[in-house]
Amino acid sequence: MAASMCDVFSFCVGVAGRARVAVEVRFVSSAKGKGLFATQLIRKGETIFVERPLVAAQFLWNALYRYRACDHCLRALEKAEENAQRLTGKPGQVLPHPELCAVRKDLHQNCPHCQVMYCSAECRLAAAEQYHQVLCPGPSQDDPLHPLNKLQEAWRSVHYPPETASIMLMARMVATVKQAKDKDRWIRLFSQFCNKTANEEEEIVHKLLGDKFKGQLELLRRLFTEALYEEALSQWFTPDGFRSLFALVGTNGQGIGTSSLSQWVHACDALELKPQDREQLDAFIDQLYKDIEAATGEFLNCEGSGLFVLQSCCNHSCVPNAETSFPENNFLLHVTALEDIKPGEEICISYLDCCQRERSRHSRHKILRENYLFVCSCPKCLAEADEPNVTSEEEEEEEEEEGEPEDAELGDEMTDV
């Protein structure tokens, strides 16, 4: 049951409000499946489209470690100064130019029943209308025996940081269908995401859950069924269907990162200052990030993932002509052209980060094969086809120092906000 592109564009335009119909989805090949193509000239630096996810959810360990985000759109809820104080471990940390912080605490609202927090009344109402009526635990929010809390605890026990997915993304998919008046429309939208063979699905689940994945997957399926069973989605609750759902989220989930501190830094960069004042502010920010790295390491953002219909149609290239970002400090994804894109040209993003894209063809293929189960045939990979299929000594040394960096996230690269 496939959704028409009318369904897809209607959702993207109606909900995100700013999708530009300058693209179309086409079948590429049996190996690549669908692809996203330009229907008119798109200039370098132009926003191709802005898309809201069908569903999104913050990672569970990220939330447990007090990265406070809107429960619906993942907008960071801490003031930039509060964010800096927590990340540096310095309660007295003060930021200059506090007026540049965009967080509006006066707009924050919580669910009156379970107290989860939202950045605005709009997000609270949107969550309630789409899925939260089903998922709201009410006064049992902290009850470890509540079915949803048992499910979340089981997930945290098998999927540790750095996180790449969340069982609650799947829960919100089910809850959305349970609450929907037009259940078939939502099922069609979710069916847009790429499917894998049974063996490929097992590889993805293995990657997410580790060597004991079969037993862990069955435990999660049982708890998921107890908490959320829905007759209209009965196939999702069978062993094969649950594995497929798991693989769908693992393959298509786009990482989302938000940060009030990052937004403050971007606002500081835009200030018109005297050279001496600019130098002092830049030095302050550089030292701030050094302090954060010493205290917190690489975990700077509120992190989660979402399912984006149009973005999921963008195939990978090691020389992408577009990139994803979250400049609005919430779950609205912007796809921006990195170069001029001609009508009829495929729009490609990269599933690898900047450092990974500079590695050898062999190393790039290893990452993509392990995490996305395909072999890249982009222009860069074809041009380097005669290179030896070995990892260079420098890269091997990097792997030893960094702890196997080719374990890329299952989901596209999480872009800095």
What is the reported pLDDT for 2? 45
What is the reported pLDDT for 199? 73
**SS3 labels along 27-78:** EEECCCEEEEEECCCECCCCEEEEECCCEEEECHHHHHCCCCECCCCCCECC
What is the reported pLDDT for 290? 96
What is the reported pLDDT for 33? 83
Tell whether the model's pLDDT for residue 6 goes beyond 70: no
On whether the CB atoms of residues 7 and 195 are closer than 8 A, the answer is: no
On whether the CB atoms of residues 166 and 303 are closer than 8 A, the answer is: no
pLDDT in tens, 245-302: 988 898 889 999 999 999 999 999 999 999 999 999 999 999 999 999 999 988 899 9
pLDDT in tens, 78-102: 999 999 999 999 999 999 999 999 9
User: H or E stretch including 288?
Assistant: helix 275-296
Residue 192 pLDDT grade (very low, low, confident, very high; cuts 50, 70, 90): confident
Using CB atoms within 10 A of its CB, is residue 315 exposed (0-12), middle (13-18) or buried (19+)?
Answer: buried
Residue 417 pLDDT grade (very low, low, confident, very high; cuts 50, 70, 90): low
Distance CA 367, CA 415 (A): 18
pLDDT in tens, 352-379: 888 888 899 999 988 888 777 788 989 9
Tell whether the model's pLDDT for residue 410 goes beyond 90: no
pTM of the model: 0.86
Structural domains of the chain, ranges and CATH numbers in brackets? 12-53+308-385 (2.170.270.10), 55-255 (no CATH)
Percent of the chain with pLDDT over 90: 67
Tell whether the model's pLDDT for residue 397 goes beyond 70: no
CA dihedral angle for residue 325, residue 326, residue 331, residue 336, rounded to 10 degrees:
-50
Residue 392 pLDDT grade (very low, low, confident, very high; cuts 50, 70, 90): low
3-state secondary structure of 382: helix
Tokens of 341: 């894109």
What is the reported pLDDT for 17? 44
Average pLDDT, the chain: 87
- Cis omega (within 30 of 0) on the bond before 162? yes
Tell whether the model's pLDDT for residue 225 goes beyond 70: yes
pLDDT in tens, 293-345: 999 988 899 999 999 999 999 999 999 999 999 999 999 999 999 999 999 99
Residue 76 pLDDT grade (very low, low, confident, very high; cuts 50, 70, 90): very high
